A and B are shown apart, each in its own frame.
Chain A
């Protein structure tokens, strides 16, 4: 809750927020870019423009954005099947992502990966992942590399509430604890493992308990609150960089769309989606808060909205116009050298 207030200066240490205005605008732009990207895919997928299947991150933007604002390209993240938001927040080119989803050579992976395998190591994005839970060991590896190579990078493992039941994930919590790795496990708990409720599928569904079981501190935050995620993640990442070891962050969040596009979501309660869209939209809450505090005006957010819409338009246009992979591309890139 926030008291209504009139204009307050956002300058210097008087800023009511932990970020300066430019960073707040940048956070807004990132969240909005994810939303626009996903909403566009939702429409274009339904129209049949996009091959395969896609899993949309809309509704969960605050988590990816709040965490990724603390990271540099040297920090690595291992993402999930629902990876578009992570990619965008980590700085992967929206044009390359869209190209990839359309299966074009202009794609981030030259059309060979698709939605579930977008990666850009130069941005520290180790890949979305079609295998749930498989990213956790990889993020441990990134953290191990940072530690052994002596730079201050961290590894972030994203996992959903469902995949947190995977052995790979649980083993990773243990390994991270044993090796004191600078890794943060982020559980994006949107309440549903595909169609199965977290209430049913997780015997003790406190992820903090699970972390404690492996000797890691765990924290639960409201994943729809950018500032809550940003602050908690900031502390955990700083701690990991300083040699304070691994930790777990559970973000309680909501999923606007189905598990995948085309999911009729018959497992949801009646009115549930409408309710969360109306009342728990992380972007709207963010925008309200910064505008109520008088730091960012509606005019400014509107300008970002327009800018983002143009960006996504151009990404879609470019993706549609880009050439398909060549026949010869089928056989390349299996090995560095064979």
Chain B
């Protein structure tokens, strides 16, 4: 059997927006991103992955990668899979991510590892179809991708796509929010916020006085970003069979307000007018009549009274690789154990 190919989408322009100025959001140097990719590659190599493809970009990531791979090869150490850059034009914005995800879907890669925050993941999911993704948190707001050492993500992805971990354990189905605007589809992985500002501007949303309405797929009290509001008011897990809708009003007039971490470094009171449960596949017309729609924390679309907007919660909309489950399975089955007698010993220990 031919070796599975894994795609890598490392977005060099994530973690660059206005939130660095308004609330000390983190940055991630290009060199660090490149090193994260290398660690992912190292993890995948250890599980037998031989081929990878990566999204091209013009922000210096590729240069770092190639230099590191050449040096490693010259030095005779490091065993990295082959890394091929997709042949596609580079615009330097999110359309690169979308195009790369589409190409990877077309070439039927076994999985896509995504380096970015919620925004990058959203774009990949919107374009990758049924290809499973594994997220590496490297964006501004990272509610969707978990914090994990990329080496381990690489290992987990490798174990999953090489079949060492059964698909039933390795892959998880996820909820999604679909937003139809005059028949045109946009998606969100975590939250859709309706705000009164009717311009996209610098995309991030942080002016609570403009918040109007929020839909979430999940919201954890320990989360960050808009979904944390739901997390603090009425938590929903990634696996719960429903979502939430929250309608805001001014903290002065609302029956109660909650101090939520609406962005990294930004905690503000948000007045709550109403909380509802969202069921799957039931289109809902938002109360908001005009403004803009933020998907996973970033304004993307503006709309007015004449525009038709519908929000629907979807089940099983895309697949992710459950790294924790993969690693647990690997430990249980000794996937990463090299000598048989040791395996026996380990079983004895486990047996207690």
Q: Which residues of A contact B (CB under 8 A)?
A: 1-6, 8, 13-18, 198-199, 202-206, 208-209, 212-213, 217-222, 225, 227-228, 230-232, 235-236, 239, 247, 250, 252, 289, 293-294
Contacts and interface: CB of A to CB of B under 8 A. Distances in A.
A2 B202 contact: no
Contacts of B58: 198-199, 205
Nearest to B291: A16
Closest 5 CB pairs of A and B: A16-B198, A231-B201, A5-B304, A220-B16, A217-B20
A5 B13 contact: no
A326 to B, nearest CB: 50
Contacts of B60: 199, 202-206
A217 B30 contact: no
Contacts of A212: 27, 29
24 contacts: A3-B184, A3-B303, A17-B198, A203-B60, A204-B30, A204-B60, A206-B16, A206-B60, A208-B20, A209-B30, A209-B31, A213-B29, A217-B27, A219-B20, A219-B21, A220-B13, A220-B16, A221-B17, A225-B201, A227-B201, A228-B201, A228-B203, A247-B20, A247-B21
A289 B199 CA distance: 9
B40 to A, nearest CB: 20
A204 B62 CA distance: 10
Is chain B's interface secondary structure helix, strand, loop, or mixed overall? loop
A227 B200 contact: yes
Contacts of A199: 58, 60
Nearest to A202: B60
B285 to A, nearest CB: 14
A2 B293 CA distance: 10
Contacts of B12: 206
Given A2-B200, A6-B306, A227-B199, 16 more contacts: A2-B301, A3-B302, A3-B304, A3-B307, A5-B303, A5-B307, A16-B197, A18-B201, A205-B60, A219-B18, A219-B202, A220-B13, A221-B202, A225-B200, A225-B201, A232-B17
Contact of B17 (A8, A219, A247): A219
A231 B202 contact: yes
A6 B289 CA distance: 13
A204 B58 CA distance: 10
A99 B182 CA distance: 51
B304 to A, nearest CB: 4
